[in-house]
């Protein structure tokens, strides 16, 4: 009756997972992708960002090596080499995403798709009918509209800059802003980070926010809170940003990291009867079903948790529900996250403030210490760890870390939280010595 069982719009983390699994379960699947297979994560998100983070770490390693007896010759950094090598790896990943779809029998349509009605997708002059339509169109950077705003870039362009800038202004206090501040700083730029609030990283634990601000300040990243960019002008050599308090800064590059909005404009969703919220996100139920019973939506276009593993879990659940007789809803509890800033952040569970509101009485354990490596390297940087415990049940309900390998460490602790581990069980676990992670099982004093 229909051309396809499933037509997916968007070949990013969520769309590819749902399409590939649906095809594996025997469905006839097509997927339209207008830009790049793998979506944001593979092309202008997690993966290229982490490669740039790796590149930026070397300056610290070179500095730290002196205390361990090394003499490093003259250093130089070539941005074009980094970007070319990054592009090669991304091209390889694009190929893997294509193969994973076609090997499972899904058809790829490389063009923009829109929805004509509940069962019809339009691509150019072609019309395809489908029993189910999956909207997986992701998000897009949102930028303030100010005079000269077009002179600023977003994270999309940062991955393809022709020249490395020596002075950078980052606007925005979310994780993407902090990560790019760390990348540009580590690669040798003078970086200013401007945020309209009192402190960046809204939603993160207060102690974590303060610890990161202190360490970034120590690294001489110029932090400017409580101000917004009012206008940007082009100068003969660079640009000038003027803030709402009248102050100004000159730089070679200004990057807006001021949030992302669901990519749902002009898709035909409203016409097909799909409800969108005030930010344009597709409104879905726990099964990712929209207000039209055969149109589903997953990932950033639904604005639930803008993370790749979450989009993948949602895509997987849709395929299980529709084509495997196994109705599934993703579990959003205890989703761990990392920020690859300088220093790193890893977090899972509730912040102290959230836990107090939810449980009333909570116990808090904190540790701030100079990591062993820094004693010999001389680096003046501390790591911070925090456990939040529900006093009534003794369950650990929040783990937070600022410091080297925070993301790697917190991933393991996320399993413990998911299993409902108590503080007594943390304490009974023998540590691995000497590591920073062992601090999580040796914190005995309540703060
Ligand atoms: C700089 C940056 C760093 C990030 N770092 C991390 C990280 O470290 N960890 C993490 O978990 N998450 C990270 N994220 C978030 C992560 O990338 C997203 O949560 C994830 O990619 C969402 O997947 P998705 O499938 O919803 O959408 P996307 O991956 O955005 O894919 C949507 C796809 O749909 C296509 N599309 C849109 N409209 C149409 C149309 N009409 N027709 C055809 N195709 C269309 C787009 O071209 C795109 O390829 C980062 C994001 C950014 C921007």
Cα 382 to ligand 1 centre (Å): 33
Our answer on whether the CB atom of 112 is closer than 6 Å to any ligand 1 atom is yes
**What positions carry a catalytic annotation?**
433
| pLDDT tens digit at each of 447 positions of the chain | 999 999 999 999 999 999 999 999 999 999 999 999 999 999 999 999 999 999 999 999 999 999 999 999 999 999 999 999 999 999 999 999 999 999 999 999 999 999 999 999 999 999 999 999 999 999 999 999 999 999 999 999 999 999 999 999 999 999 999 999 999 999 999 999 999 999 999 999 999 999 999 999 999 999 999 999 999 999 999 999 999 999 999 999 999 999 999 999 999 999 999 999 999 999 999 999 999 999 999 999 999 999 999 999 999 999 999 999 999 999 999 999 999 999 999 999 999 999 999 999 999 999 999 999 999 999 999 999 999 999 999 999 999 999 999 999 999 999 999 999 999 999 999 999 999 999 999 999 998
Strand order in the sheet with 229-235: 229-235, 238-243, 248-251
98: which residues sit within 8 A by CB, 6+ positions away? 37, 108
Our answer on whether the CB atom of 155 is closer than 6 Å to any ligand 1 atom is yes
Helices (H), 10-145: 13-24, 39-44, 46-65, 79-103
Point out the ligand 1 atom lying closest to the alpha carbon of residue 36: 49
Q: Are 196 and 166 in contact (CB under 8 A)?
A: no
Q: Which residue's CA is the closest to the ligand 1 atom numbered 42? A: 112
Q: Which residue's CA is the closest to the ligand 1 atom numbered 26? A: 299
Cα 8 to ligand 1 centre (Å): 14
Residue 163's SS3 state is coil
pLDDT of residue 315: 98
Our answer on whether the CB atom of 308 is closer than 6 Å to any ligand 1 atom is yes
Point out the ligand 1 atom lying closest to the alpha carbon of residue 139: 30
Count CA atoms within 13 Å of residue 83 on its CB side: 13
pLDDT of residue 384: 98
Our answer on whether the CB atom of 12 is closer than 6 Å to any ligand 1 atom is yes
For residues 317 and 21, give the distance between their C-alpha atoms in angstroms, rounded to a whole number: 10
pLDDT of residue 401: 98
Cα 300 to ligand 1 centre (Å): 7
Q: Are 57 and 358 in contact (CB under 8 A)?
A: no
pLDDT of residue 223: 97
For residues 211 and 384, give the distance between their C-alpha atoms in angstroms, rounded to a whole number: 7
For residues 421 and 419, give the distance between their C-alpha atoms in angstroms, rounded to a whole number: 6
pLDDT of residue 244: 95
How many C-beta neighbours within 10 Å does residue 425 have? 15
pLDDT of residue 96: 97
For residues 210 and 393, give the distance between their C-alpha atoms in angstroms, rounded to a whole number: 29
Our answer on whether the CB atom of 312 is closer than 6 Å to any ligand 1 atom is no
Cα 337 to ligand 1 centre (Å): 16
DSSP letters for 206-275: HHHHHHHHHHHHHTT-EEE-S--EEEEEEETTEEEEEETTS-EEEESEEEE---EEE--TTSSTTTTT--
pLDDT of residue 393: 98
For residues 181 and 196, give the distance between their C-alpha atoms in angstroms, rounded to a whole number: 16
How many C-beta neighbours within 10 Å does residue 21 have? 24
Q: Which residue's CA is the closest to the ligand 1 atom numbered 2? A: 45
Our answer on whether the CB atom of 137 is closer than 6 Å to any ligand 1 atom is yes
Cα 414 to ligand 1 centre (Å): 24
For residues 367 and 41, give the distance between their C-alpha atoms in angstroms, rounded to a whole number: 33
Our answer on whether the CB atom of 122 is closer than 6 Å to any ligand 1 atom is no
Our answer on whether the CB atom of 48 is closer than 6 Å to any ligand 1 atom is no
pLDDT of residue 57: 97
Cα 199 to ligand 1 centre (Å): 27
């Amino acid at each position: 009756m229909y051309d396809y069982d499933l037509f997916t719009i968007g070949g990013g983390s969520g769309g590819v997972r749902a399409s590939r699994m649906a095809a594996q379960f025997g469905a006839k699947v097509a997927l339209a992708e207008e830009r790049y297979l793998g979506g944001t994560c593979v092309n202008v998100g997690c993966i290229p960002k982490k490669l740039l983070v790796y590149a930026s770490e070397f300056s610290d390693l070179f500095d730290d090596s002196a205390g361990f007896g090394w003499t490093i010759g003259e250093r130089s950094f070539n941005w074009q080499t980094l970007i070319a090598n990054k592009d090669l790896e991304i091209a390889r990943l694009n190929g893997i995403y294509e193969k994973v779809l076609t090997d499972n029998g899904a058809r790829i349509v490389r063009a923009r798709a829109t929805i004509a009605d509940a069962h019809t997708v339009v691509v150019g002059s072609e019309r395809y009918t489908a029993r189910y339509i999956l909207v997986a169109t992701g998000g897009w950077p949102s930028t303030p509209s100010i005079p000269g705003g077009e002179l600023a870039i977003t994270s999309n362009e940062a991955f393809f800059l022709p020249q490395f800038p020596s002075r950078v202004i980052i606007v925005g206090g979310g994780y993407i802003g902090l990560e790019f501040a760390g990348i540009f700083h580590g690669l040798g730029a003078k970086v200013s980070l401007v945020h309209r609030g009192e402190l960046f990283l809204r939603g993160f634990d207060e102690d974590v926010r303060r610890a990161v601000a202190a360490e970034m300040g120590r690294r001489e990243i110029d932090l400017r809170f409580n101000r917004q960019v009012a206008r940007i002008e082009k100068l003969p050599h660079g640009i000038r940003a003027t803030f709402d308090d009248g102050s100004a800064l000159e730089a070679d590059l200004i990057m807006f990291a001021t949030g992302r909005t669901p990519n749902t404009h002009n898709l035909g969703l409203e016409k097909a009867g799909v409800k969108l919220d005030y930010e344009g996100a597709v409104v879905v139920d726990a099964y990712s079903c929209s207000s039209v019973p055969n149109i589903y939506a997953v990932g950033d276009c639904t604005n639930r948790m803008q993370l790749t593993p979450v989009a993948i879990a949602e895509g997987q659940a849709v395929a299980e529900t529709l084509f495997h007789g196994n109705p599934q809803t993703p579990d959003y509890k205890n989703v761990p996250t990392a920020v690859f800033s300088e220093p790193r952040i890893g977090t899972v569970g509730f912040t102290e403030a959230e836990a107090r509101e939810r449980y009333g009485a909570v116990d808090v354990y904190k540790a701030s210490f100079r990591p062993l490596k820094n004693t010999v390297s001389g680096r003046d940087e501390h790591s911070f760890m925090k456990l939040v415990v529900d006093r009534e049940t003794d369950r650990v309900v929040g783990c937070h870390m600022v410091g080297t390998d925070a993301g790697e460490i917190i991933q393991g602790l996320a399993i413990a939280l998911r299993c409902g581990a108590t503080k007594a069980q943390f304490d009974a676990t023998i540590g691995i010595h000497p590591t920073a992670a062992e601090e999580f099982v040796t914190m005995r004093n309540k703060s």
